[in-house]
Amino acid sequence: MGVRHESCAGYGVAPFASLVAKYPGEDVYPIEDFRVEWGPIFHRGRLDGSARILVLGQDPAAHEAISRRILVGEAGQRVQGLLARVGITSSHVMVNAFLYSVFGQRGGNRHIGDDAIAGYRNRWLDALLVGTQVSAVVTFGTLAAKAYAAWTATQPETAAAIHVATLTHPTYPESAARAGGPLAETTAAMLEQWSAALPGLVAHVVPDPPCGQSDLGRPYAATWRDGDLVAIPEGDLPAGAPVWWRDLDQWAARTGADSQTKRATITVAVPKGARTWPPL
């Protein structure tokens, strides 16, 4: 017998089975603004009622398009590290504001409030938050915060009992640097904000056992340190997912000489550290 592996159980239970059986396509998500051709990416984490914290992201990227789960790349490891500081190793669930990757910088802002997009998204949030044991929600990025605020207006009684941390998206420092911003300063500002949110999250979330109490609420330094990034749990990914899908090394990227080729192409390569086969 081989090593026992964990895997995501998928969408076989209600109401998630019906949510993935009938999802919006380009009739709802305009193809000029979303990469609908790569298909919807629904979630990551527990759908069995055991989740105690919900993470709301924005839209999937290249790693997510291949793994079929959200927040899988370095951003996902940063999020996983934040959850570890709250004492959560597995009792989490994550969804995005958008099912599909946004194509172009302004597409998300144009459509965050679209009735059909919000309606389907709210069905997911209802399933994950109404009558469940989720006691805290973390939103990453402006669009995620807007999406959650729109949902609270539809379920004010449930929302009133949930602690909310509205945080900067984990990839913001790098995106700001590409626009000419100072990476060190934007990273430090984001980590300071994340640190400030930790006491409230710790106070409202029951940690997973066993949990090292000394790590609960431990603030970040001004830059990333060893241990700040935590690997994606194997049980969050589809059965048979390669180990290197959970690596920090980048293994998927959009490639091409122009925007249309890059839209149509994701290059996947096994990271060098995972190339364990013998040389020829």
The domain spans of the chain are: 22-210, 240-280
* Three-class secondary structure of residue 69 per DSSP: coil
pLDDT of residue 179: 84
Which H or E element spans position 44?
strand 44-45
Q: Are 124 and 95 in contact (CB under 8 A)?
A: yes
pLDDT of residue 1: 62
d(CA 179, CA 201): 32
pLDDT of residue 141: 96
Output phi, psi for 7, to 5 deg: -155, 160
* Three-class secondary structure of residue 76 per DSSP: helix
pLDDT of residue 32: 96
pLDDT of residue 213: 61
Sign, CA dihedral 183-189-192-196, equals: negative
d(CA 54, CA 56): 6
Which residue type does 10 have? G
Burial (CB count within 10 angstroms: exposed 0-12, middle 13-18, buried 19+), residue 214:
exposed
Q: Identify the DSSP state of 253.
A: E
Low-confidence ranges of the chain (pLDDT < 70): 1, 211-214
The reported pTM is 0.95
Q: Which of 234, 233, 230, 237 is nearest to 68 (CA)?
A: 237
Homologous superfamily assigned to 22-210: Uracil-DNA glycosylase-like domain (3.40.470.10)
Which residue type does 232 have? I
pLDDT in tens, 61-98: 999 999 999 999 999 999 999 999 999 999 999 999 99
